Structure 1
Amino acid sequence: MERLGIGIGWRPEIADTVERLPGIDWVEAVAENICPGHIPDSLLRLRERGVSVVPHGVSLGLGGADRPDAGRLADLAARAEALGSPLVTEHIAFVRAGGPLTASPRLEAGHLLPVPRTWDALDVLCENVRIAQDSLPVPLALENIAALINWPDEDMTEGQFLAELVARTGVRLLIDVANLHTNHVNRGENPAAALDELPVESIAYVHVAGGVEKDGVWHDTHAHPVTQPVLNILSELRSRTNPPGVLLERDDNFPPAEELARELTTIRNTLTTTTATPTPPRDQAAITTTPGTAATPRATTAQGATTPPRGEARGGRGNNATAAAPAHPAATVEAAPLRPAEAATAIRTRVALAQAALLSALVAGTPTPTGFDSARLRVQSRALAAKRADVVAKLAPELPEILGAAYRTAFLAYAKSRPMSAGYRRDALNFAEHLLAAGLPEDASARRRLTHWWQDRAAPRPPRRTTRLVRAARAALVRK
């Protein structure tokens, strides 16, 4: 596996700083922010110096119930080729739900949401990963994400889930030690146990990032300094393997160059002061074969217990792929044996129903699905709305400029009953349209400025009353 060295997340706001930082071997850039025909000069200069550039995708949603979008995959492949990248990375997450599989409106989270660690979700993820691997010109690595919420009735731990994923697909892993810390605080998961269960030889590189704790909840902000607990997990990982690369992530509230340099030095010191102990070979006797899948190793916990084969999980419903536990209590399992294609569709439908129910509760105010913590879902819901407001303000800075101090309150009121369905740029237009349709803002001068902003980007005039009523009816259906 190619050695990357020490890197930092490249962001336009700190492009000049990144170029000046000493000892940078590679950078990672958000794939969706790079246009293959218009690569930023800063990245071109870094490449000329021999600095590798890795595109890091955030919108594929490989953990979602739908198969990966061919257009998004083509875009990611084009970015990898334009940058001469050694690999590309994405996340083990879902970012949208609804649509044909659930006969419900498509919803966008605007955020990375956790995949249930169930056999159904694993089947879907593995097929989606294989589709992505076949579409990309370079190897793919997937990142573990941070989460505020737990899915009920999961079949595996995170380490076991990732080990099964690697065994079935050969995909590489991007391990974010800050996310392991987040899940320790928010979900009570043991980072050391997760590392014990991982196939560390499959790690492509490691993320290190900062966050902050509020009211007992850890927020993975990427806008605060890296904390000692995160560095401790990095040291734990280093004691098991020498990762090919380690990267510092920072997405907001960028500090002076000297502070970034100090954090990079601390990361280097953490790696050099810990010695890796060779990982013993995996027990081939623990390989178990499930009908319809490749041979996969049983994931072994830190305590030495093993995950039961798929057919034995959750009460031993038989060794049939279609008899796996449903991803959500609302989903039902068909008793009659299904042909393989029908079985795959049934599994995707179960996952789709579960993910749509969760996302709808988070962004459209529908009831909390059975088994979830309502209080924790409210925390996640508020975090999603706050992120929407922040991203829209960044993409359309004219909106907070026009609305002033009222922007955030107005946007959060809008977002409460109007889930995002087509990305942040469309969300900004829909927000402006919503205000104008309601005769807002009250100040005539601000309303004229908002109207002109909207007209420049959307249409010659705001929508007619009939169009507004139709859209309101659709929004009401989503909320039911």
Structure 2
Amino acid sequence: MTRLGTGIGWRPEIADAVERMPGIDWVEVVAENTCPGHLPESLQRLLDRGVTVVPHGVSLGLGGADRPDEGRLAALAERAEALGSPLVTEHIAFVRAGGPLTASAPLEAGHLLPVPRTRDALDVLCENVRIAQDALPVPLAVENIAALVAWPGEEMTEGQFLYELADRTGVRLLIDVANLHTNHVNRGEDPAKALAELPLEALAYVHVAGGFERDGVWHDSHAHPVPRPVLDILADLASRVSPPGVLLERDENFPEPGELERELGAIRETVRAAAPERPHRTPERGRTPVPAADDAARQRLGLAEAALLSALVAGTPAPEGFDRVRLGVQARALAAKRADVVAKVAPELPVILGEGYRTAFLGYAQGHPMRGGYRQDALDFAEWVLRSGPPRESGARRELRRWWLDRSGPAPRPRSRLARVGRSLTRR
């Protein structure tokens, strides 16, 4: 098993600081934000120095009812080869639902959502993981996720679910101790029990991150300092097994480099102080035969996930057995994340709309599920604003219309359908 050491999530906002930080053994990059032929100069310099880079996927949806998309798998494989990575990682989550399997409209979450810990979901997940393993040039590790909601009628604990997954597929585990803390606060699950049930010999590495609590709900923000309870769970894990790698995740609200270095120092010290007297042996796990998930299991899972996602992003009634209050919290969190990501993907929109951007976007999100990724979401939002806004022309409206027309399609403006829509909006 690859020994990684201490690392940090590489982000463009802290690229220069990461290059200068002492003691950084490796970094992790978001796979979907990395273009193999056009690596940022800072990341290329780290590679040239011999720093290990691991691609971390967020859009594969291994916990979804459909089999993994071949194009997404090929892209993840390409990034692993371009970066010379010893492994790639993804999440035990679903990110989209609906479509032909359920004869319903396809929906996207724009976020990682928990799979039910049931036999159906486990069978589907195991087969999806095996498909991914066969398509990737390096080993795969999968991460436990944080959740605001709990599925009714679950048949296994998180530790049991992960143990069976690793036992049946030989997949490695990326354990996020911050997510164990989140599930402790939000779902009452005991982190120590989860660690006791895990196959720690399958551990690939560990994530550590911060968050915040509001109204009794813990939000895994990756934008706040790592709290003591998360370090305590890290210490518990490190007392059971020597982690091959530990990584600090920070996605936004970046502090000064010195603060990041102090957090990394606290993580190193936590692992060192908790290390067992005799390091645990971590043999490679093999695979046991995995029967293919039958179509009926995929359809049952697909219907359940589509009903949950529709309640979260399309305003349909909550599925039976779910906590409606928690679903509301999750729905608002998804909409807020969409607003934040669209603002990054299309930074001109908050500039054009000013202080009204966020209010307008949240109003749009209530009745318009994301249908084609964040870039398409930005275009759909701009079109919605143009259609639903006041007919009176203004400088912001003209600028928004120009922005939308410039990005809506390859056809020349005078002959395009989109241009005709734009002229109609102008007349309005």
Pairwise CA distance, 1:384: 0.2
1:93 and 2:43 are equivalent in the alignment:
no
Pairwise CA distance, 1:204: 0.3
For residues 252-331 of structure 1, the aligned pairs below 5 Å read 252-276=252-276, 294=288
For residues 274-423 of structure 1, the aligned pairs below 5 Å read 274-276=274-276, 294=288, 344-423=294-373
What CA distance in whole angstroms lies between the structure 2 residues aligned with 1:409 and 1:230?
A: 33
Give the paired residue count. Answer: 412
Query: CA contact under 8 A between 1:437 and 1:462: conserved in structure 2?
Result: no
RMSD over aligned CA atoms reads 1.9
- Give the corresponding residue for 1:430: 380
Q: Describe the SS at the equivalent of 1:64.
A: coil
Pairwise CA distance, 1:281: 10
Aligned pair in 2 of structure 1 residues 374, 464: CA closer, same or farther (>3 Å)? Answer: farther
- Give the corresponding residue for 1:448: 398
Q: Percent identity among equivalent residues?
A: 73
Aligned pair in 2 of structure 1 residues 391, 238: CA closer, same or farther (>3 Å)? Answer: same
Query: CA contact under 8 A between 2:201 and 2:281: conserved in structure 1?
Result: no
- Give the corresponding residue for 1:477: none
Pairwise CA distance, 1:462: 3.8
The one-letter code matched in structure 1 to 2:395 is S
Q: Describe the SS at the equivalent of 1:141.
A: strand
Pairwise CA distance, 1:39: 1.1
Q: Describe the SS at the equivalent of 1:365.
A: coil
What CA distance in whole angstroms lies between the structure 2 residues aligned with 1:411 and 1:274?
A: 46
What CA distance in whole angstroms lies between the structure 2 residues aligned with 1:77 and 1:40?
A: 19
Pairwise CA distance, 1:390: 0.6
The one-letter code matched in structure 2 to 1:21 is M
What CA distance in whole angstroms lies between the structure 1 residues aligned with 2:350 and 2:48?
A: 39
- Give the corresponding residue for 1:54: 54
What CA distance in whole angstroms lies between the structure 1 residues aligned with 2:385 and 2:391?
A: 7
Query: CA contact under 8 A between 1:435 and 1:441: conserved in structure 2?
Result: no
Aligned pair in 2 of structure 1 residues 85, 251: CA closer, same or farther (>3 Å)? Answer: same
- Give the corresponding residue for 1:113: 113
Pairwise CA distance, 1:437: 1.9
Pairwise CA distance, 1:436: 1.3
Aligned pair in 2 of structure 1 residues 464, 349: CA closer, same or farther (>3 Å)? Answer: farther
Query: CA contact under 8 A between 1:178 and 1:207: conserved in structure 2?
Result: yes
Aligned pair in 2 of structure 1 residues 76, 442: CA closer, same or farther (>3 Å)? Answer: farther
What CA distance in whole angstroms lies between the structure 2 residues aligned with 1:114 and 1:135?
A: 24
Q: Describe the SS at the equivalent of 1:130.
A: helix
Query: CA contact under 8 A between 1:212 and 1:220: conserved in structure 2?
Result: yes
What CA distance in whole angstroms lies between the structure 2 residues aligned with 1:275 and 1:71?
A: 41
The one-letter code matched in structure 1 to 2:190 is N
What CA distance in whole angstroms lies between the structure 1 residues aligned with 2:101 and 2:288?
A: 26
| The 10-residue stretch of structure 1 (454-463 or 26-35) with the greater mean CA deviation from structure 2 | 454-463
Query: CA contact under 8 A between 1:436 and 1:462: conserved in structure 2?
Result: no
The one-letter code matched in structure 2 to 1:366 is T
Q: Which runs of 5+ in 1 are unaligned?
A: 283-292, 297-339, 469-480
Q: Describe the SS at the equivalent of 2:101.
A: coil
Q: Describe the SS at the equivalent of 2:46.
A: helix
- Give the corresponding residue for 1:37: 37
What CA distance in whole angstroms lies between the structure 2 residues aligned with 1:151 and 1:10?
A: 33
What CA distance in whole angstroms lies between the structure 1 residues aligned with 2:70 and 2:189?
A: 35
| The 10-residue stretch of structure 1 (451-460 or 246-255) with the greater mean CA deviation from structure 2 | 451-460
Q: Describe the SS at the equivalent of 2:236.
A: helix
Aligned pair in 2 of structure 1 residues 29, 245: CA closer, same or farther (>3 Å)? Answer: same
What CA distance in whole angstroms lies between the structure 2 residues aligned with 1:348 and 1:364?
A: 22
Pairwise CA distance, 1:13: 0.7
The one-letter code matched in structure 1 to 2:110 is G
Pairwise CA distance, 1:277: 6.4
Deviation track 1:382-409 (CA, whole Å, cap 9, x = no partner) reads 0000000111011111111111111111
What CA distance in whole angstroms lies between the structure 2 residues aligned with 1:354 and 1:425?
A: 28
1:206 and 2:206 are equivalent in the alignment:
yes
The one-letter code matched in structure 1 to 2:348 is E
TM-score when normalising by structure 2: 0.93
Query: CA contact under 8 A between 2:242 and 2:280: conserved in structure 1?
Result: no
TM-score when normalising by structure 1: 0.83
Pairwise CA distance, 1:440: 4.7
What CA distance in whole angstroms lies between the structure 2 residues aligned with 1:16 and 1:180?
A: 31
